[in-house]
Structure 1
Amino acid sequence: MADDSRGSVYADFMQDQLAAEETRKNSLEQRGLAVITSCGALAAFGVGALALFRQRDAIPLSAAAVCLLVGGAVTLVLGAIGGLGVNAPLRHRSANPLVLADTMREHWEDDDATARARVTATRARLLESLRRANDRRALVLLSAMTAEALGVAMLAATISVVAIGTL
């Protein structure tokens, strides 16, 4: 009986880890969507400001301001593309239903401890694969957020250059 309780502890722990990694995946994907939304809004703001300035010629834009504004819009678009990349389907191991059916047929008579050990080992492989995919998602998200921050900085620099130019 002691062996059965140890097996349950390992199985439960592995299931908790797998659930936590799935939660991490969902969180990364939600943050990726947030980056897409905010980059789109900021890029639209930057392009709209440029169009407004050009249309009215109210404030002349220096070459530096135009370069910063265009650079900001480009980096925001890159940030949005990165946000899309976070949500792109990444290959990671998943349980193949046909293989599972074969395994169950072959090992149906296994005792509980052996079955639990097999399932726990499968969960461990799934966890390792999902964690690797999530680590890649996290790096893409970091890149997207960095591009977004750079875009915001370039838009702020544009506003500063225009403001200083009008003094």
Structure 2
Amino acid sequence: MSSESAGDVVSSFIEKQLTTERATKASLETRGLAVITSAGTLTTLLLALSALVAQRPAYALPGGAWVPISVAATAFLLSAVVAVYSNAPMKSMTVAPAAFKEHLTDKYWGAPKSEAVRAVANSQLILLGAVQNQNKKKALILMAAIIGETIGVIAIGVTVIMLVTV
């Protein structure tokens, strides 16, 4: 038989969930940086394509080709900006020291371990909710950036097809 109480089990579970959410936050921010990098690379590719086309003497861009080029440039710019926003600092998720000040009084200092476990679990549960909300916002922002980048890639593909089939 384990000497662990139900409170210990719940507290451990909440702590693991909080650790998982913090890892998710870091992962979302890393993916945001990847979108920024790839949007920059794809914008460079778009500029190189434009420069290559512009170097050809007496070359006129096929009618309407400026539309997907403009869409691609705009989509890459917006996806990079949105991805930067996904990495913007958000409010730090920590417990205010004052929240545990009363637990340093004589009344609580000698209290059973279960009271401390409950207080810590309660604070971690509040933090868990806040971190989950931040992660949902970051995930939505990141999804918008990825969609923008996808639109840009499709627009480049359309442009290349238009240029090749002329």
Query: Normalising by structure 2, what TM-score?
Result: 0.90
Give the equivalent residue in structure 2 for 1:56: 56
Q: Distance in 1 between matches of 2:57 and 2:126?
A: 62
Written as runs of structure 1 = structure 2, the 5 A alignment for 1:36-51 is 36-51=36-51
Match for residue 34 of structure 1? 34
Residue 145 of structure 2 corresponds to which residue in structure 1?
Answer: 144
Larger helix percent? 1
Aligned match of 2:21 = 21
Displacement of 1:121 in angstroms is 0.4
The 5-angstrom pairing of residues 1-167 of structure 1 reads 5-57=5-57, 59-91=59-91, 93-97=93-97, 99-100=98-99, 102-106=101-105, 107-165=108-166
Is the 8 Å Cα contact of residues 92 and 133 (structure 1) preserved in structure 2? no
Deviation at 1:164, TM superposition (A): 1.4
Distance in 2 (alpha carbons) for counterparts of 1:57 and 1:90:
51
Q: Count residues with an aligned counterpart.
A: 164
Aligned to 1:60, the other structure's residue is in SS state: coil
What runs of 5+ residues in structure 2 fail to find an aligned partner?
A: none
- Segments ≥4 residues shifted beyond 6 Å: none
- Superposed CA deviations along residues 44-67 of structure 1, whole A, max 9, x for unmatched, are 110121122113337531242122
For each residue in 1:58-87, what CA deviation from the matched residue of structure 2 results, as whole angstroms up to 9, or x when unmatched?
753124212211210110111111111111
Q: Match of 1:139, as an amino acid? A: L
Q: Is the 8 A contact 1:4 1:113 kept in 2?
A: no
Q: What CA RMSD, in Å, does the superposition of the two structures yield over aligned residues?
A: 2.0
Determine helix, strand or coil for the equivalent of 2:111: coil
Taking the aligned partners of 1:131 and 1:152, their CA distance within structure 2 comes to: 31
CA distance in 2, matches of 1:138, 1:57: 46
Going from structure 1 to structure 2, the CA distance change for 1:53 and 1:105 (only over 3 Å counts) comes to: same
Q: CA deviation at 1:104?
A: 3.4
By how many angstroms is 1:163 displaced?
A: 1.0
Distance in 1 between residues matched to 2:109 and 2:56, nearest whole Å: 78
Find the aligned partners of 2:31 and 2:58 in 1 and give their Cα distance: 38
